[in-house]
Chain A
Amino acid sequence: MTNHWTDYQHSDVFMNIGGNTAENHPISMKWIEKARETKGAKLIAVDPRISRTAAVADVYVSIRPGTNIAYLGGLINYIFENERYHQEYVANYTNASYLINENFSFDETTGLFNGAEDDPVRNATKYNTESWQYQRDADGNALKDPAMEDPNCVLQLMKNHYRMYTIDNVSKITGADPAALTESYDLFSSTGEPGKAGNLLYAMGITQFTHGAQNVRSCAIVQLLLGNMGIAGGGVNAQRGQSNVQGSTDMAILYHILPGYMGTPQQAAHPTLEDYLVKETPAAGWWTNKPKYLVSLLKAFYGDEATAANEFGYQWMPKLDGLDHSHIAQYKDMGEGKVEGMFCWADNPAVSGPSAANKRNYQKNLKWLVSVDVFENETASFWHGPGMNPAEIDTEVFILPGAIGYEKEGSKANSGRWIQWGWQAQKPPGDSKSDLWIVNELFKRIQSIYSAEGGVVPDAITKMFWDYDGPDGEVDIVKVCKDINGYRTTDGSLVTNFVGLQADGSTACGNWLYSGYYNNYEKPATKSRVKEKEGLGFNLGWSFAWPLNRRIVYNRASADLEGKPWNPDAPVVWWDEAQQKWVGNDIPDIPGSWTLEQSTENPFIMLPEGVGRLYSHSALKDGPLPAHYEPAESLVPNLLYPQATYNPVSQRFYADHTVETAEERERYPYIITTYRIVEHFQTGIVTRNLPWLNELMPELFIEISEELADEIGVNNGDKVIIESKRLFKDGDQSGIEAKACITKRFKPMVIDGEARHVVGMPWHWGFKGMSTGSVTNDLTASVGDANTTIPEYKAFLCNVRRAV
């Protein structure tokens, strides 16, 4: 989130797209309802289904799964056509006036940007982004047209790109009612007026597509055009579904980043530390500090072993080989016998991964599997899942009993980036241990084995700094906090925040973004609990938000060129003439030494150009502007770009994996989406073992419209079989079983003149625990986003028939 939960009270209009905030983030409704009651705020819900959020929304727009870019593109076009954008903001705080290379183009027949090349390794298209860049003068300064009239300036390019996203076209693609489209566009774009706040909140219904990153880009473009970034009640707010999923992302649970969102070094491009620092450090913007953060990270990894002479241990750090190692790719490797063992930590991909039945099959190739969880999960017990013959499986499975959140101490980062300490409420039962205890004991043993016996790359293990035992022999969490916060290597004293970090090895820091959260031992900010008595809800004394306790990022943009808040009723920060500096209700997201002029030229401090990117010349692999592509499996052609189908940059991992022919579309004639419900959590490992919750939501179901139910002769509560191409291909099952829930929440959608059925299923069930049911993800496809490889769980094709 760029903003935070309590900030929702300042919004004038909410757009909940690709999320179901009332069901999956219930506490958000407290703040949404507060804004509705005190400010007369309006809530727009965009969803294929009348979700619980849609049930309480002021405006509901029904769109076909996988057509978010079309819907948001329509909004962008509406903003242009009706001149609803925030003129001063767009002209000064975004790259709207920047001139783009004259060779940049987009082919509206093929749906390809220029620079498209074949990528045989990934079996997809890739782009050469050279001609997507800014025009620059001899000194390297980007050229601009302040009047924003040049046909090559970003604003004009965008107007042209989005001119096809008319109400009529968007309605044909999405199946949405034209009147509902207009009403929602009119309402949300009303926040382009200075002083108004529009809040765009989303969740997995935006990200889990083969074009998920471009969906997010669309949200960012809308919010930049309307001047909603940096202001109270505005923002692009990704609502996280798990208490610390923000924290795990910050700490680089994903393979392509290091802690604090620095790219993982590539062996080919970055053989030396110098290569990495030179190539990955931009010439301007906050990331010019990257060498300080990376060297401090290396010092945290390798301690005294890391010296300037040995590149601070850079050569011990694992580097990427240029191949995809995301979740889908890892399991593909496993299927091909390239993976010997797996450590599966608080994860249950046998239920949550795409094509989960195939995944369980691939796990047969493992020699060993370690599962750390609070109950025995489906991944650990894959060998007695559906269609498995335990006699034929040689995998040795170890189960380590973990502890749940309330049984251990530590910080959790919420959606609003607040790093809040959680204290232990009770000891874990029996031999269960906290993750920290397990990882500490594990690594101490690994290190001692490598020290004694050596190995392939022993230094990567033996040189690792590992001293987290407390005086009592138990792991000491405060030592970990010290590492993360950062300290001076000379005397071990804690740094105040990341401004104190250095690139010369004199500081160590495990995650620069967190620096400051634990900068003293007595009263660390993460444990602070000072509740705001009056104010705008920023609660600066309550825990610590990254970066530097800023609650709304890019908040300089909440004020006009002179530094006066666009909205005087909810002022975030402002320029204090007397003191000649930025002050406010939040910590200004601007270096303290900057003049007004500097801050006005660079409100988006992280970017080299200092302004928000309406047009993103190289951040994403699949284009500088979002373009509508169908999901990987779709019943209809691409109605905007006739030769395009789905995102051409998205990798094809498996041949013959998705529905592609007309014959197959007849065999799998229904559009299906998946989602979560309030009674169960993720793969249900905790919740399916709680009797009360099982009582409320006892079994897996599929939501079917009354019309489809009539067509296939199914009554409410009947058992049905759901089939997708995945199960027929290499699973032993012919389909999965669920109970039919006949509902008015779904309705056939008219796509380009033809009615199409849409159904939906939650996915919390598996074959272990007190409440068991089919694994919905046995149906989903192992296809993913072009940039992130997040699987396309939200839109694919299926067949539904009565279970005889």
Chain B
Amino acid sequence: MVIADHAMLVDQSLCINCDACTLVCKQIYSLTEDIYRTQIDTYEHGAYPDSIEVFNKKACMHCTEALCVISCPTGAMHKNEDGLTVYDERICISCNYCVANCPYGVITFDRTKGIMEKCTLCDKRVENGLEPFCYSVCSPQAIKYGSRPAMIAAGNQRVQLLKSQGYEEANLYGVDEFGGLRVLLVLQYTPDKYNLPAETEVPMGKRVLKYLISPLGGIAAVAGIGALIYNYASNKKGSV
């Protein structure tokens, strides 16, 4: 069954950092050493024995207003029909603007392959009616998957439960951030404790930039090809 408007709900309160998601992703997508499409970060706060440790399974959030898309000069990083942020390596010039602009730090440039790596939300798998791999392997079932309204409802329910358990700061992250995210997070504490960005809107300056560069797409493409050649040459050098 293919779900329209599909989204992922990652319940960080259930995550136990077992790395099953990290590994299945590395394996399936044959990722290079030290390159990840999803990874779990750990943050410690407070003082022992009341110190807390939180886990953040981080991966592309598929922002509706995606800074990587806005900043990409060639359209390599773009939105597909489903609204997912997807990447076309054929027209990427490896300028790394997407890496620099991503508010979540989840796009990585793989120097050995010369491409950007980021979570696709397993789009090809989803097109075939299957679920993302990380969802399938999550042992504490911290990852849920379905239509976005259903995920928002499920997330809100978990937040209510967490609040009733005494987590006063519990919240659902991603409903409105960057125009709405396709990956929603259930958090026990405020987003800053998970190192999530304080700024959750596209800055005006960057919007303007996009309007400016759009008509210049042709020029950018030409520049892009030049950069591609340069990049290819420099990569070759780098690989010696």
Contact = CB atoms under 8 A, between A and B. Distances in A.
A27 interface: yes
Contact of B141 (A22, A30, A746): A30
Interface in B150-204: 161, 165
A62 interface: yes
B48 A22 contact: no
Given A23-B18, A744-B48, A747-B48, A30 B26 contact: no
Contacts of B141: 30, 33
25 contacts: A22-B140, A23-B16, A29-B14, A30-B141, A50-B48, A50-B53, A52-B16, A52-B17, A54-B53, A55-B52, A55-B54, A678-B18, A678-B19, A691-B33, A692-B23, A692-B26, A692-B27, A695-B26, A695-B33, A705-B48, A744-B46, A744-B48, A744-B51, A746-B48, A747-B48
Interface in B14-44: 14, 16-20, 22-23, 26-27, 33-34, 44
Interface in B119-148: 139-141
Contacts of B48: 50, 62, 705, 744-747
B34 A695 contact: yes
Overall SS of chain B's interface: loop
Contacts of B45: 744
A23 B139 CA distance: 11
Interface string B62-93: 00000000000000000000000000000000
B1 interface: no
Contacts of B51: 50, 744-745
B47 interface: yes
Give me the 6 closest cross-chain CB pairs, A-B, nearest first.
A747-B48, A29-B140, A22-B16, A55-B53, A26-B18, A26-B139
A699 B53 CA distance: 22
A33 B17 CA distance: 15
A37 interface: yes
Interface residues of B, number: 29
Nearest to A748: B48
Contacts of B27: 692
Nearest to B55: A55
Interface in B187-228: none
Nearest to A679: B19
A696 interface: yes
Interface string B1-20: 00000000000011011111
Contacts of B13: 56
B17 A678 contact: yes
Interface string B95-113: 0000000000000000000
Interface string A23-57: 10011011001001100100000000010111110
B15 to A, nearest CB: 8
B47 A744 contact: yes
Given A744-B53, A745-B48, 19 more contacts: A22-B17, A26-B20, A26-B139, A29-B140, A30-B139, A30-B140, A50-B48, A55-B52, A56-B16, A678-B19, A691-B33, A695-B34, A696-B19, A696-B23, A744-B44, A744-B46, A744-B47, A745-B53, A747-B49
B123 to A, nearest CB: 23
Contacts, number: 80
A59 to B, nearest CB: 11
Nearest to B35: A695
A186 interface: no
A60 interface: yes
A60 B53 CA distance: 12
A33 B14 CA distance: 7
A743 B53 CA distance: 10
Interface in A663-683: 678-679
B57 to A, nearest CB: 14
Contacts of B34: 695
Interface residues of A, number: 34
A365 B33 CA distance: 42
Nearest to B52: A55
A180 interface: yes
B170 to A, nearest CB: 14
B16 A29 contact: yes
Contacts of B165: 36, 40, 58
Contacts of B47: 744, 747
Contact of A177 (B14, B26, B49, B52): B49
A62 B27 CA distance: 38
Given A30-B141, A695-B33, A695-B34, A62 B14 contact: no
Nearest to B39: A696
A26 B140 contact: yes
Contact of B49 (A22, A50, A743): A50
Contacts of A62: 48-49
A100 B51 CA distance: 47
Contacts of B33: 691, 695
A29 B139 contact: yes
B169 to A, nearest CB: 16
A685 B150 CA distance: 44
Contacts of B140: 22, 26, 29-30, 33
Given A26-B18, A29-B14, A37 B161 contact: yes
A743 B26 contact: no
A60 B44 CA distance: 15
A60 to B, nearest CB: 6
Nearest to B18: A26
Contacts of A746: 48
A696 B16 contact: no
Given A22-B16, A695-B33, A60 B49 contact: yes
Nearest to A696: B19
A543 B24 CA distance: 28
A446 B161 CA distance: 64
Interface in A53-107: 53-56, 58, 60, 62
B102 to A, nearest CB: 22
Nearest to B47: A744
A29 B13 CA distance: 12
Nearest to A693: B23
A128 to B, nearest CB: 43
B16 to A, nearest CB: 4
Interface in A731-748: 743-747
A36 B140 CA distance: 12
Interface in A165-194: 177, 180
B134 to A, nearest CB: 14
A696 B22 contact: yes
Contacts of A58: 165
A180 B49 CA distance: 10
B6 to A, nearest CB: 23
Interface string A710-745: 000000000000000000000000000000000111
Central interface residue in B27, B47, B51, B165, by most chain A CB within 10 Å: B51
Contacts of A679: 19
A746 B47 CA distance: 10
A36 B13 CA distance: 12
A679 B51 CA distance: 24
Contacts of A54: 53
Nearest to B24: A692
A56 B53 CA distance: 8
A37 B11 CA distance: 13
A52 B140 CA distance: 13
Contact of B53 (A30, A52, A692): A52
A30 B34 CA distance: 29
A310 to B, nearest CB: 53
A53 B141 CA distance: 16
